[in-house]
Amino acid sequence: MSLSRRDILKSGSALALGTALGTHGARARDMTAREKELYELARKEGEVTWYTAHSNDTTAQALGRDFEAAFPGIKANVVRTTAQVAYQRLTQEQRAGAMQVDVFSSTDIGHYVALKEKNLLEKYAPDNANKLIEVYKNYDPDGFFTVTSAGLIGISYNTEKLKEADAPKNWPDLLDAKWKDKIALGHPGFSGYVGTWVVSLKKLYGWDFFEKLAKNNPQIGRSINDTVTMLNAGERIVAGSGPNGTAMESAAKGNPLAMIYPPDGSVLIIAPSGIPKGVKHPNAAKLFMEYLLTPEASKIWVEHFNESMRPEVKPLGGAKSAADVKTIRPSVEEITKGIPEVIKQWRDTFGV
């Protein structure tokens, strides 16, 4: 599936999106009572710093700029990095008592479980969390973190180098020797998306799957988004851990990319956000948490081919969402326990 910008603009969803994006000017849009209350307090703080692994930098910056448009007078400092790097920065800041981050958005749920156990998260349940699609509600009934993003992992490929008929159709197809030196992967030691993907496929096929995959000599980056860069550069032709959002956003810009959604299940990533203890801008942090769960934020997620958090925001015409394909996802407990285990196994197996 390769969508051009023209295709997007032809779709009814994109028309609605364009109307919504017209509000990105200086005028603040309508606010809920809670948002108004927080906005008055947050303006005195003047800024918010967001560490996020939920998307590529383009999408993260679009959300930051839209937040500034919605809430004039508050600067959004957007720091996009991999999940493990963001977590390392956060824990270093907490140990030093020198907090820079205000809102922490990781793709590894285990980070929140660990922070919560150590009493290093502020309790804040956004009002807008009650308006989410059901599957994203109440991941933490105690209110210390909230799901603010979701995405799909399938198999992506370079359409100039590979015909659709010849592309891998399911996960075990990646083990065929014909893909030796042709596969791109992210790294579970850096990316929470990749960590969850590895845990999911280990559960399906055992670690033997990855031992066989290693024999195909994949090129391994850090972020899952590095796989898209490798495909666009022609360094590899298949991304075994293919991020649907980044790949389809790149395709819409004219790059030769397409997605395969394996019948054995695309991996659905559930990604939370939370407010660490001791942040400098607590009210701006709460306001930003509310913002991430607004229809306007979901429209930006959808524009960049990620999942919507809100039921009233639909996918772009022609794009696929989690509702359209078979998905698999490990439980919170499986992720929390599993990612540290697979990082060690990965390094032993792949040597990186």
Check pLDDT > 70 for residue 124.
Answer: yes
Give the separation between CA 197 and CA 49, rounded to whole angstroms. Answer: 28
Answer yes or no: do 32 and 98 share one domain.
yes
Answer yes or no: do 122 and 161 share one domain.
no
Q: Residue 128 is part of a domain; what is its CATH number?
A: 3.40.190.10
pLDDT tens track for 166-187: 999 999 999 999 999 999 999 9
Confirm whether 17 is domain-assigned: no
Check pLDDT > 60 for residue 87.
Answer: yes
Answer yes or no: do 197 and 332 share one domain.
yes
Confirm whether 30 is domain-assigned: yes
**pTM for the full model?**
0.83
> Looking at this protein, which amino acid is placed at residue 167?
A
> Which pLDDT score is estimated for 163?
96
Answer yes or no: do 125 and 199 share one domain.
no
Check pLDDT > 50 for residue 244.
Answer: yes
Domain that holds residue 51: 23-150+271-303
Answer yes or no: do 135 and 246 share one domain.
no
What are the start-end ranges of the E strands in the chain? 47-52, 75-80, 103-105, 146-158, 183-185, 219-220, 238-243, 257-260, 266-274, 327-328
> Which pLDDT score is estimated for 236?
98
Confirm whether 107 is domain-assigned: yes
What tokens appear for 72 in the block? 């004039």
Mean pLDDT of 75-93: 96
Answer yes or no: do 217 and 342 share one domain.
yes
Mean pLDDT of 56-78: 97
Question: Could you give the angle at the alpha carbon of 160 between the alpha carbons of 155 and 165, nearest 5°?
Answer: 55
> Which pLDDT score is estimated for 28?
57
Q: How many residues does the chain have?
A: 352
pLDDT tens track for 91-117: 999 999 999 999 999 999 999 999 999
Confirm whether 225 is domain-assigned: yes
Number of separate domains in the chain = 2
